[in-house]
């Protein structure tokens, strides 16, 4: 009786994985009509990670590209026209849902996001969602300039702080509303929509929406990535205790975080290729000198893939604090690093008391304000 149950279970599992569209190989043909003059720049590029392919727009404006994927996925498209004529690249995300044909027509001057799409249901919904997100950014820019002036979003101008505060709050409000409109927890694109908002949604919002996903969706690659990011965000939330970690320094010797127990520690994630990271270092060195003698230390943790690039940059910057390499993927497993530079401030008990994302080359940012309040000092610029 037991062996019969096992056979039935295996057969059910095979049936599930064979016929469930979440696990079937996808063969999707994307085609369309492009209007407007390409000026000879007729390539459409598609990429996902290291994979890249392209197709050309024919003289009559038609194009076609065939996509093969092992599972539903998000891929990115950009136009050679934008790169050569407009001087920028603006990748647009398309959701590859299932086999079939997806028709996407657009005007070369207006770009992919302005196009008309017809195809698999969630591919269409994801396209509309992505297009609306892009228009939100443009809409808020107009609102800001109308309220605070044309130069308001330029750092150093009179209304910069007010304009940025308005921009961020308005963007959160509109994006939350847009997400609620398009998010379908049963749609194959649901994990991807959540992955795109891991940084902007609160931990509670993420966990709530993740709980709505079906069991098969949670078991997809995107579902597992989402779970890892939610877990890392939880582990690195304010008030969480940082577990000891050991990473190598530039000489290959192991450095233990426990060595700094009892101090305030600023952990700064960076990379040699990150311009904003390196621009922020002179100011960080100034802060370090001003807090010298206090119960304070800084650690740089590099996410560089190439050790030689990291070591070269460390030598060039010559920062007077420990330099470590993230060989254990700490930036994803123990901390939530969605972009660099990202910094975490740890108190003497090992608890996270503050975090920030972005560079602060001119000083006076939120992290410095937190340090000033802790050490009862006014940091000079």
Report domain extents, the chain. 2-118, 126-235, 246-375
Give yes or no for residue 29 having a pLDDT over 50. yes
Residue with tokens 């969605």: 338
- Ranges of beta strands (E only) in the chain are 26-35, 43-48, 51-56, 62-69, 73-79, 92-96, 100-107, 116-118, 246-248, 254-256, 264-270, 296-302, 323-325, 342-346, 352-357
Q: With CA atoms as reference, report the closest residue to 134 among 185, 69, 90, 167.
A: 90
Is the predicted pLDDT of residue 99 greater than 80, yes or no? yes
* Of 14-28, 205-219, 240-254, the least confident: 14-28
Nearest Cα to Cα of residue 232 among 184, 268, 272, 198: 198
pLDDT for the residue 179: 95
Under 8 Å between Cβ of 7 and 18? no
Helix (H) or strand (E) holding 126: helix 121-148
Span 236-241, average pLDDT: 93
Q: In the prediction, which pLDDT does 290 show?
A: 95
Which pLDDT score is estimated for 9?
Answer: 31
Using one digit for the tens of pLDDT, what is the confidence trace for 328-376?
999 988 999 988 999 999 999 999 999 998 888 888 888 999 999 999 9
Q: Is 82 a residue whose pLDDT tops 90?
A: yes
List the end-to-end C-alpha distance of the chain, in Å, as a whole number: 78
pLDDT tens across 142-192, in order? 999 999 988 888 877 888 888 888 998 999 999 999 999 999 999 999 999
Q: Which of 187, 358, 329, 188 shows the shortest CA–CA distance to 268?
A: 358
Phi/psi of residue 158, each to 5°?
-55, -45
257-301 pLDDT, tens digit per residue, is 999 999 999 999 999 999 999 999 999 999 999 998 899 999 999
DSSP letter, residue 85: I
Report the distance separating Cα 192 and Cα 126, nearest Å: 9
Question: What are the φ and ψ backbone dihedral angles of 249, each rounded to 5 degrees?
Answer: -90, -170
What is the overall mean pLDDT for the chain?
90
- How far is CA 381 from each of CA 158, 267, 289, 360, 363, rounded to the nearest angstrom? 19, 21, 12, 11, 6
Residue 232 confidence (pLDDT) above 70: yes
Q: Is 281 exposed, middle or buried (0-12, 13-18, 19+ CB in 10 A)?
A: buried
- pLDDT category, 7, cuts 50, 70, 90? very low
The answer to whether residue 50 scores a pLDDT higher than 80 is: no
Give the rounded percent of residues in the chain with a pLDDT score beyond 70. 94
Given this structure, which CATH class describes domain 246-375? alpha beta
Determine the topology of domain 2-118 in CATH. Immunoglobulin-like (2.60.40)
pLDDT of residue 23: 54
Q: Give yes or no for residue 16 having a pLDDT over 70.
A: no
The partner residues of 314 in beta bridges, in order of sequence, read: none
Whether the predicted pLDDT of 137 surpasses 90 = no
Best CA proximity match to 68, nearest among 96, 91, 32: 96
296-302 vs 51-56, strand pairing mode: unpaired
In this prediction, residue 15 carries a pLDDT of: 34
Q: What pLDDT shows up at residue 18?
A: 36
Collapse the DSSP code of 72 into the 3-class scheme (helix H, G, I; strand E, B; otherwise coil) and give the result: coil
279 burial type by CB count under 10 A (0-12 exposed, 13-18 middle, 19+ buried): middle
Q: What is the mean pLDDT of residues 204-231?
A: 94
Q: Which two tokens stand for residue 197?
A: 């908002």
Residue 8 has pLDDT above 60, yes or no: no
pLDDT of residue 3: 34
Tokens found for residue 255:
């450095």
């Amino acid at each position: 009786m037991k062996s019969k149950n096992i056979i039935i279970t295996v057969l059910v599992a095979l049936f599930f994985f064979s016929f469930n569209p979440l696990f079937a190989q996808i063969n999707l043909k994307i085609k369309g009509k492009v209007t407007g003059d390409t000026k000879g720049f007729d390539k459409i590029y598609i990429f996902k990670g290291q994979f890249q392919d392209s197709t050309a727009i024919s003289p009559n404006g038609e194009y076609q590209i065939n996509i093969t994927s092992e599972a539903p996925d998000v891929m990115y498209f950009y136009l050679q026209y934008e790169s050569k004529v407009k001087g920028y690249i603006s990748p647009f995300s398309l959701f590859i849902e299932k086999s079939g044909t997806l028709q996407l027509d657009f005007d070369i001057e207006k770009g992919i996001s302005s196009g008309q799409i017809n195809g698999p249901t969630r591919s269409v919904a994801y396209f509309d969602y992505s297009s609306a997100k892009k228009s939100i950014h443009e809409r808020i820019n107009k609102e800001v300039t109308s309220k605070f002036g044309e130069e308001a979003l330029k750092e150093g101008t009179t209304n910069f702080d007010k304009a940025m505060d308005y921009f961020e709050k308005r963007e959160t409000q509109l994006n939350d509303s847009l997400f609620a409109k398009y998010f379908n927890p049963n749609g194959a694109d649901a994990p991807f929509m959540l992955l795109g908002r891991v940084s902007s949604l609160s931990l509670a919002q993420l966990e709530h929406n993740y709980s709505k996903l079906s069991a098969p969706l949670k078991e997809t690659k995107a579902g597992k990535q989402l779970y890892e990011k939610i877990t890392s965000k939880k582990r690195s939330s304010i008030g969480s205790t940082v577990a000891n970690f050991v990473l190598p320094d530039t000489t290959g010797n192991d450095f233990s975080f426990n060595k700094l127990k009892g101090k305030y520690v600023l952990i700064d994630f960076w990379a040699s290729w990150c311009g904003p990271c390196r621009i922020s270092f002179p100011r960080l060195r100034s802060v370090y000198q001003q807090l010298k003698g206090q119960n304070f230390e800084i650690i740089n943790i590099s996410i560089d893939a190439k050790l030689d690039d990291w070591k070269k940059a460390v030598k060039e910057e010559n920062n007077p604090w420990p330099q470590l390499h993230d060989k254990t993927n700490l930036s994803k497993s123990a901390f939530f690093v969605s972009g660099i530079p990202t910094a975490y401030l740890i108190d003497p008990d090992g608890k996270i008391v503050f975090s920030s994302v972005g560079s602060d080359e001119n000083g006076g940012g939120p992290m410095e304000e937190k340090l000033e309040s802790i050490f009862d000092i006014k940091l000079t610029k």
